[in-house]
Structure 1
């Protein structure tokens, strides 16, 4: 008899708990002080071409593979205001056969990689009272370095070029955060309002070393710097 009473009671408790969870899910996640969060984003691209005519040469064969992966852990220090540090790693590899305008064929292969550290402050602006949609405005300091190698073979002569780069800057990346499940969100950002300084040094076979120092100021939204990622808030 007791067992017959306990089973329906357990079912009612379970349904009540599920109903409460569903309610919490529908309300989204408030971004309050003391919340830890982390996001992971991955981007990749590839290109395969044949007889691609460019301004100064024709790419008889072309193959490119590249990817970027980024991790952004952080902490909410005040309601709707967080701080954190982003870690980014990127890699790219190109293999080409080029035909110059004067009829010379060259095999050009290159590879490079980079690593960036990006401390940031992120503002969250809620849209409505559901705590499911937020406008996010990360402002981040970018510090990065990378290196690469380029090998060009023309008429059996191999030329190698080694590149080392160091760059730093400041950028805003506005976007939107949408919670698609309890504590689990989807975030999209675009590059905008950036300023940077880059220093690149080159060592090329049988040529003097070179050094190039450039500065850039970007006051426009760059849709080509679109990043997509998933976030966890606990």
Structure 2
């Protein structure tokens, strides 16, 4: 079954109601303050019949983000933000063995955001982020037939710099719905595993377009 993405946003509820009273000019002026809060939720249930894949799989995750910005120039802001991510998955392979994992992360980031006017209510945006993330991950293998289980823990620190595209739709003079789509980044990871009890380092370039990076939220401009 294809992944089902459940995103709860006020855009679907209030968008039409405010469509006639939107902001009449889309310049955010130097000195304005910007506050944003957003969420992304993903859920997936799969039943597979292939012998080499798990017949059953359940995945749930969410991403909550908030940020505060200051416009140093018209349509150009800098600021700081925080992001919390949680993912939980469970796979059953049909041989009385369950594989489960839990992923949690907390991120602090600095950002520079440029807004590009499309019309009197709609803007495109490009946001550059410098992110520091702490990750904890627990993986458990449980075999009911053999009555044994194995649990491992991994802790990581991730340093990223990247670009996040998005849009803004004003519904009033000071309120806008915002959405961001995907994240292109260069990252460096330091990982400590409970199995190896030692630190490993890695780096890579990544474009992430999964559901946790499809974030919808509400922005207030003061």
What is residue 35 of structure 1 aligned with on the other side?
32
Aligned with residue 161 of structure 1, among 146, 152, 166:
152
What is residue 212 of structure 1 aligned with on the other side?
200
The structure showing larger relative contact order (alpha-carbon pairs under 8 Å, at least 6 residues apart) is 2
Aligned with residue 194 of structure 1, among 185, 189, 208:
185
Aligned with residue 230 of structure 1, among 210, 218, 221:
218
Q: What is the aligned length?
A: 200
Higher helix proportion: 1
Aligned with residue 63 of structure 1, among 40, 58, 65:
58
What is residue 4 of structure 1 aligned with on the other side?
none
Distance 1:139-1:148 versus aligned 2 partners, 3 A rule: same
Give SS of 2:194's match: strand
Distance 1:53-1:166 versus aligned 2 partners, 3 A rule: farther
Instruction: Report how far residue 46 of structure 1 moved.
Output: 1.2
Matched, 1:185 2:171: no
Aligned partners of 2:202, 2:37: CA distance in 1, in Å?
A: 30
What is residue 134 of structure 1 aligned with on the other side?
123
Aligned partners of 1:58, 1:223: CA distance in 2, in Å?
A: 24
Give SS of 1:74's match: strand
Aligned partners of 1:209, 1:94: CA distance in 2, in Å?
A: 24
Matched, 1:148 2:137: yes
Instruction: Report how far residue 24 of structure 1 moved.
Output: 7.7
Structure with max Cα Rg: 1
What is residue 9 of structure 1 aligned with on the other side?
none
Residue ranges of structure 1 left out of the alignment (5+ in a row): 1-21
TM-score, length basis structure 1: 0.76
What is residue 46 of structure 1 aligned with on the other side?
43
Distance 1:119-1:95 versus aligned 2 partners, 3 A rule: same
